Amino acid sequence: MVSEHMVKLGMNRNIMREIFEHGKRRAKVVGAGNVLDFSLGNPSVPPPAKVNDTIRAVLDGPLHDSVHAYTSAPGDQGCRDAIAASLTHRFGVFCTGDELYLTVGAAAALCCCLFGLHTPGDEFIVIVPYFTEYRVFIESAGAKAVEVPAAPGTFDLDLAAIEAAIGPNTKGILINSPNNPAGVVYPAATIRGLADLLRRKSSEFGNPIYLISDEPYREVVYDGVEVPWLPAYYENTLVCYSYSKCLSLPGERIGYVLVPQSAEDWARVYAAVAGAGRGIGYINAPSLFQHVAAACDGLTADLSVYETNRNRLYRGLTEMGYTCVKPDGTFYLIFQAPDLDSMAFSKRAMKYDLLVAPTDTFGCPGYLRVAFCVDTGRVEKALPVFRRLAQEYGL
């Protein structure tokens, strides 16, 4: 006998992955250049030079004998201190390496928070549309996911709807800004309102409600949009960060959880996060990339191609008559399926080897997500196909 829950997870089809695999099969038939694949959020630009420079310096430097060794479980103290100093400098809120727990990317950071915080009967609020894996992480931790739709049209947080969903079992709310898939960045006013609401509800129910902020796209923003630093707004915030997207390192698996000392019962919350990492068997985050994170925090790859693609796609699709949400950040753009049947649109687009993901897997049918972390040539080649589809749908 094996765990039915895990069998289901292992066998469950993920539409985006299926589309991606379909693209790989088609590439063998029609040539890779003719498959217009916008299915996955795999960064397409190289990491900044400092990433490889740091790797070489570490491998050739005084640490070369120990760099592949185990580190302390929360991460090397020197690396954590360096990241904390960088965060203090960047966001103006003092933090120390002792508040950081380095992880295997944002996915592990989220799991450490959810597994660490969860007690029987707990609920975590997620905002629809949400990153597909949130439900997997929450339910694997033994908790319940409570869905709250984002505000229609803008995809900002709907504070009234969140308030209505909070109850005595609410342990936390998981938010993601810049947002995958909608591309929105929640403005400071929204975050202030959310913080007030969470404080009010925490005292009404006599327990802290944690704000889990999933931030792998923090630096991937356009037009100078500011992403509020949530610990400055709400004391019981846990920041889950990843270097996957900003440094183009998704396969290297490095990120962190920040448990600020402002959090109620800080030492126990931090210990619970660390204990969850231990319980899941993470041991420590990849040691070489701890040094990369320490040296490169705050840097980004050259993201200009994403900005070019975002502008080209948003303008192009809007002119063709599609209803689009303009992304403030991330490298995703969603548009409405003309007849609201996103699965049918995705299938129809596949006939032209245009691969876009229906947002059904994000809990929000009716839209298509375009992952525009690709070279601009692919965007240019895709626009006439989008136009042809617009005509077929009578836009």
Binding site for ligand PLP (CB under 6 A): 41, 105-107, 131, 176, 180, 214, 216, 242, 244, 250, 255
Which residues are within 8 A (CB) of 121 and not within 5 positions of it... i.e. 6 or more apart? 169
Between CA 133 and CA 316, with CA 313 as vertex, the angle to 5 degrees is 140
Query: Toward ligand PLP, which CB reaches closer, 240 or 320?
Result: 240
Least distance (Å) between residue 168 CB and ligand PLP: 28
Provide the pairing of β-strand 237-242 with 210-214.
parallel
Residue 144 forms beta bridges with which residues? 123
Query: Toward ligand PLP, which CB reaches closer, 244 or 248?
Result: 244
Query: Toward ligand PLP, which CB reaches closer, 42 or 261?
Result: 42
The Cβ of residue 288 has, within 10 Å, a number of other Cβ atoms equal to 15
On whether the CB atoms of residues 243 and 261 are closer than 8 A, the answer is no
Least distance (Å) between residue 345 CB and ligand PLP: 22
Q: Which contiguous run of DSSP H or E holds residue 357?
A: strand 357-358
How many angstroms separate the CA atoms of 55 and 52, rounded? 5
CA 3 vs CA 6, 8, 10, 107, 140: distances in Å = 5, 9, 10, 21, 11
Query: Toward ligand PLP, which CB reaches closer, 23 or 181?
Result: 181
Query: Toward ligand PLP, which CB reaches closer, 23 or 129?
Result: 129
Least distance (Å) between residue 109 CB and ligand PLP: 8
**What dihedral angle (degrees, nearest 10) is formed by the CA atoms of 91, 150, 308, 48?**
40
Least distance (Å) between residue 252 CB and ligand PLP: 9
Query: Toward ligand PLP, which CB reaches closer, 152 or 251?
Result: 251
Least distance (Å) between residue 364 CB and ligand PLP: 14
Least distance (Å) between residue 135 CB and ligand PLP: 13
Least distance (Å) between residue 57 CB and ligand PLP: 24
How many angstroms separate the CA atoms of 56 and 354, rounded? 40
Least distance (Å) between residue 159 CB and ligand PLP: 21
Least distance (Å) between residue 202 CB and ligand PLP: 25
Record the tokens describing residue 33, joined without a space.
């250049």
The Cβ of residue 163 has, within 10 Å, a number of other Cβ atoms equal to 15
Provide the pairing of β-strand 144-149 with 123-128.
parallel
Query: Toward ligand PLP, which CB reaches closer, 76 or 214?
Result: 214
Query: Toward ligand PLP, which CB reaches closer, 250 or 329?
Result: 250
Query: Toward ligand PLP, which CB reaches closer, 209 or 247?
Result: 247
Query: Toward ligand PLP, which CB reaches closer, 41 or 363?
Result: 41
DSSP readout, 200-254? HHHHHHTSPPEEEEE-TTTT-BSTT-----GGGT-TTEEEEEESTTTTT-TTT--
Least distance (Å) between residue 133 CB and ligand PLP: 7
Between CA 95 and CA 107, with CA 101 as vertex, the angle to 5 degrees is 120
How many angstroms separate the CA atoms of 32 and 378, rounded? 11
DSSP readout, 142-208? T-EEEEEEPPTTT----HHHHHHH--TTEEEEEEESS-TTT-----HHHHHHHHHHHHHHHHHHTSP
